[in-house]
Each structure stands twice: as structure tokens, then as C-alpha cells.
Structure 1
Amino acid sequence: MSETWIIILSIGYFLATLSLIGALIFLIVVAVELRRGINAFKEFLNTTKTRLEPAIHETERVIEGVKSSVEDINKVTEKVKELGGTVEKLTFIVSELIATVEKMKNSVNIKGNALKTAITVAASVFFENLKKGGK
């Protein structure tokens, strides 16, 4: 019976050794494939970085241009607001000028009517005096 156990243990030891060697070979193959995958991934990242850098640079330039345009638009908006205030003041001045001209026109009309009335009365009195005998 001891020979049977020695044979069984020898076969078990042999199978264990073969399994260990198989596992080591599998781990070596896995390590090599992982290294290839990591190198391929690094290559992909480097290629992607190389391709994206010009796009990122161009995007930064576009963003700077947009910021500059927004600043210009803000300046123009401020100038338009100032122009609106100036137009409002000018409108007020023109309306005051029109009101003043209207008042002057009314004053001239009143004075003209008063002068017309005065001339009519004076002429009437003058003609009245001439009719009475020149006094």
C-alpha cells in the first residue's frame, strides 16, 4: 500500500508541477500582452494629445476672440446709451426751443394786434377830428 501512495503522491506532485509551470507560462503570456496593451494605450494617448493640442490652441484663440468681441459690444452698448442720453437731452432742448418760439409768436401776435388796434383807433380819432373841422 505504501507503493500505491508513493505513486499517487508522485503523480500528484507531477501534476502540481505541471500546473505550476502552466500557470507561470500563462502569467508570462498575460504580462507580455498587458505590456503590449499598455504600450498601445500610451501610443494612443500620445497620438491623441498630438492631434488635440492644435485644436485646444485654436479653441483658446477663438475664446479670446469671443471675449474681445464681447468687450467691444459692451463698449458699443455704453456708447449707444450715452448717445441715447444725449438725444434725450437734445429732444428736451428742442422742445423748450419750440415752446419759447411759440411764446414769442403769441407775444408778437398780441403786440401786432395791439398795434393794429392802436393804429385803427388813432386813425379813427384822426379822421373824426378832420371831419369836425380840423381841430
Structure 2
Amino acid sequence: MKQNSENFRSNCPINFVLEIFGDKWTLLIVRDLMFKSKRSYGEFLQSNEKISTNILADRLQKLEAAGIAIKEIDKQNKSKFIYALTDKGKDFLPIMLEITAWSCKHDATTNTPDSFIEAFEKDKLALSIQILDNLK
């Protein structure tokens, strides 16, 4: 089922994004899925930002409900779940790249690798394709 802004505060496109991604934890989980190859609950808990277990569970559930992420049983460990971005979640990549580049431009202490910035400035499309290939 395609999610729309019918039950949101407004039909504004900015509000639509904020209703799904409008807190710091959700974007950090998407970051971990997209850029850091994290896929399990335990891996998300190890992120530097130290998300609490109840917030993590809630945000993962919201990402699933919004069609941004899916949860599957791990083939190697049947008692563990793994998460992945859906096509809808992968479509958020250009925005995440722009957020990262903006942060690098305006935060002298950002920990973004120089290689990322160079690749972004040289060829955003090639960088996007490379990241998407890693998500398969």
C-alpha cells in the first residue's frame, strides 16, 4: 500500500518527509542501513549516538510501517532479524548525500571521509550507483 499524506498534519511535501523522518533517530538508522552496512538490532545499538532500545524498536517499526525498511529472519541465525532498505528507502539516497555534503561544508569537525567528499563533488551519480550496488 502506498503511503500518502492523507492522515498527516498537511499535504505539504516537506511535512510528508518530516512525518516519516522528522526525528534524529530515524535518519541515523537510515544512515546506518545506507552507509554503514548495519543490518541487525545489535549493530544499530553499537552506533556512536547510543540510541536506547525502546527508541530503536519504535523507529524500526515506524520505518517498516512507512515502507522504508523491511525486517526478515536472518538466514544464518533463525532467532535473529535483519533489516534492509526497500526501494522506497533507497530512493532517499540523494537526500542523504546532500545532507552529508551540507554538513561537511558547514561543520569543520565532521567525520565524513575525504574520499566521500571527493567522489560526491566529482560525480554524484557514480557515487549513488556505487552505494546502491552495496545495498543489494
* TM-score calculated relative to the size of structure 1: 0.16
Using CA pairs below 8 Å that are at least 6 residues apart, which structure has the higher relative contact order? 2
Q: Higher strand share goes to which structure?
A: 2
Q: Higher helix share goes to which structure?
A: 1
Which has the higher Rg, Structure 1 or Structure 2? 1
* TM-score calculated relative to the size of structure 2: 0.16
